[in-house]
Chain A
């Protein structure tokens, strides 16, 4: 793995998240019936940060949950490495809510497909909207994000690495090239 470029630093990440928070409030006309669900692992941290920003802007607390999509993966039978099943923690009702699904990187769209299936098992939200920190392209399914921190065109030889304080001790987004 070779580091090619730092796309976002801490300030840029914070600004992107703050802007997305504003956009979410604008599009949903406030925070009533709003809830956030982050996809494990890093989506959970971004969802929590978005919730904090929204509360700061509107003065209203918004609930944030965590979703593990392992059991819904379409490549579970083929996966080469063994996926670790982690906890799903959605301890609020998602029925009739405007649910913001949050992930760090949007790529093929397969993770989001799995997450949508999982969410439908929890109830019937009024709407599901997608917020991602980075959209790197190369979709394999008809899925697009409603809120994007940064569009980063990449080649298939590259990967996007999101590092967050909560999990990696540093806030940065890098493009790395596979060997």
Chain B
């Protein structure tokens, strides 16, 4: 099994074999971060550019750490202080970065499909670090990696995703990845936050959280983005917590070893209680650690790809 894609745009476009290759490669890379000298020369002489059109700390830093542990040079472009403010188009920005002889662009953008468009326009690699409501493939990969590490496999697992499914690229990428690997996915959200025809992706819907947790091996709790436009749907954040928040009482009724995940940053007391976030079932900080290994694997594989350009 060889990797032949210059880009990573979403899990929708990958086969189960390709997803497993990333996960297996990440397993090998995990060891590097436990060394005293946390660096290997695999991407020496390569340049990775972090191009972020949306504020992000954890994803950007995670990619930067991953690239640096592979010995790549990393350049961060914050679009607020760049020529984007002067009206430069995305493709022009991309072409300029390519003209600088960079090798990989890691992009976060608020428009769905932005990474796909940029990847088509450029010869260099594009890694999607989140585009609009579309996909956030490396987040889903690190979620799946963590699940596999904890439970040994993905096939046959019952995974529940709770939260704003409609506006979540994390949910979308997880659904693609998990269903391709044979997991059974249940989504749980207020009806207004479920996309129309979500069942067509092969997932089950539940509006009652206790029902959704009942048989779950793991629950992935999404961040409620109240700073965006959820205000109208949920004037009372407490109301959301009462109906959908993950608490110790709710976990007590679920499987004993249920795994609790969250992509961060956590709204304590909205999506879950502090006790749950810091409790024995939580793997939230392990997700952060695994994110480095997964992103190292992705950067390594896309830069190794020998794609026949169509």
Contact = CB atoms under 8 A, between A and B. Distances in A.
Interface of A is mostly: loop
A68 B28 CA distance: 9
A88 B37 CA distance: 14
Nearest to A88: B31
Contacts of A79: 304
Contacts of B241: none
A64 to B, nearest CB: 16
Contacts of B31: 87-89
Interface string A108-135: 0000000001100111000000000000
Interface stretch (B38-46, B173-181, B282-290): B38-46
Contacts of B37: 121-122
A82 interface: yes
B300 A85 contact: yes
Contact of A117 (B28, B41, B70): B41
Interface in B51-83: 70
Contact of B2 (A71, A81, A85, A123): A81
Nearest to A73: B42
Interface residues of B, number: 20
Contact of B40 (A71, A81, A89): A71
B42 A76 contact: yes
Please indicate which of the listed interface residues A71, A76, A88 has the most CB atoms of chain B within 10 Å of its own CB: A71
A68 B32 CA distance: 11
A122 B3 CA distance: 29
Given A85-B25, A86-B28, A122 B41 contact: no
Contacts of B3: 82
B36 A123 contact: yes
B145 interface: no
Nearest to A118: B40
A87 B34 CA distance: 13
Contacts of A81: 2
A71 B32 CA distance: 11
Given A72-B41, A76-B42, A117-B41, A85 B29 contact: yes
Nearest to B42: A71
B28 A88 contact: yes
B148 interface: no
A123 B37 CA distance: 8
Interface of B: 2-3, 25, 27-29, 31-32, 35-37, 39-42, 70, 297, 300, 304, 306
21 contacts: A68-B28, A71-B32, A71-B41, A71-B42, A71-B70, A71-B300, A72-B40, A81-B2, A82-B2, A82-B304, A85-B25, A85-B300, A87-B27, A88-B28, A88-B31, A89-B31, A118-B40, A121-B37, A122-B35, A122-B36, A122-B37
Interface of A: 68, 70-72, 76, 79, 81-89, 117-118, 121-123
Given A71-B70, A82-B304, 12 more contacts: A76-B304, A79-B304, A82-B306, A84-B25, A85-B300, A86-B28, A87-B31, A88-B31, A89-B31, A118-B40, A121-B35, A123-B36
